[in-house]
Amino acid sequence: MKTMMAPFVLSSIAFLFSSSVYAVPALKLNLDQTTVSGLSSGGYMAAQFQLAHADWVKGAAIVAAGPVYCAQNNLMTALDHCINKVGSPIPLADINKQLKDWSVQGLLASEAQIKQSKIWLLHGTADQKISKEVADALHQQYQQWLPAAQLSYVQDKNFAHHMPTLAEGSACDTSEAPFLGKCNYDAAGEALKFIQAGLKAPSNTSDGKVYPIEQQTIAGDLADTMAEQGYVYVPKNCEQGQSCSLHISFHGCNQHAEAVGMAYVEKAGFNRYADSNNIVVLYPQTRASNLMPMNPQACWDWWGYTDANYANRKGLQIQAVVKLAQSLQSR
């Protein structure tokens, strides 16, 4: 095992060291048409973030996740009916009432703003980590808010629990690190085509760069449960001063850079479209912790390990990622 892992670890360390000497260039970034995506806990986070800020975050692509606020600030509830089983019914009516109350209080975007969103959902038939009943509940949740033309649900593909790609990662019917699936399916592209108007074909070659960003320096205490560094992919056109939009992609549990190196950042599929569509891609990162909070798999907070506001605008991680986005705009 040591012999197999050493080259991967060393190459990741070498990348991080070589990248750290470069500062993110000045960017002309228009945040008004921002989109987000995420896998598993990152899917939960993408949905939370988009609902919180649908006034400027116009769409979300969510892979293998359940309804927003499914856990209702309780880990045992999360384990009971928000992952791979539904031990008790998911109380969608109660959950949606809480979300409506937050919207009225200004803790989520208004219902009118949410109604303008475009949402793309994916659940694989071989996924054993998130049950279809849980994924279906997310689809049902969005059906109450969105016109049918603005909601897409892909549920007929034999994908395991991972981010499906054209040719990156493990076998399509397995779920293992780095949780990319070699499925001959461009999930990133299919998602972006739906949530971003007028998307151009992907670039055949990458001309952009991945830069580290100092998350805890930028966001301060808000980023205490996040890694010191996140990453941002900047296409050459954006680096040279063209106006660009932003896409934020949230990794899944056990998929942060400390665990899988740059696999998700470089190979999930979004960067190919970023080059040809003038999109800067932000890849925020969590960190693993065993105590205060208990988050050994470096998941995004979708059950309340930061505080009770984790799923609205006051959520610490949501606020931190907003600051990361704004910092890119101000550079």
Tell me which residues are annotated as active site: 40, 127, 161
Residue 298: left if φ>0, alpha if ψ -120 to 50, beta else—which one?
left
Q: Which residues touch 298 (CB under 8 Å, ≥6 apart)?
A: 253, 254, 255, 256, 258, 259, 286, 287, 288
Contact between 257 and 196 (Cβ < 8 Å): no
Per-residue tokens: 328: 């890119």
Measured distance CA(329)–CA(26) in Å, rounded: 8
Measured distance CA(201)–CA(180) in Å, rounded: 21
E strand or H helix that includes residue 270: helix 270-277
Amino acid at 145: W
Could you tell me whether strands 118-122 and 229-234 are parallel, antiparallel, or unpaired per DSSP bridges? Answer: unpaired
E strand or H helix that includes residue 93: helix 92-104
Residue 170's beta-bridge partner residues? Answer: 181
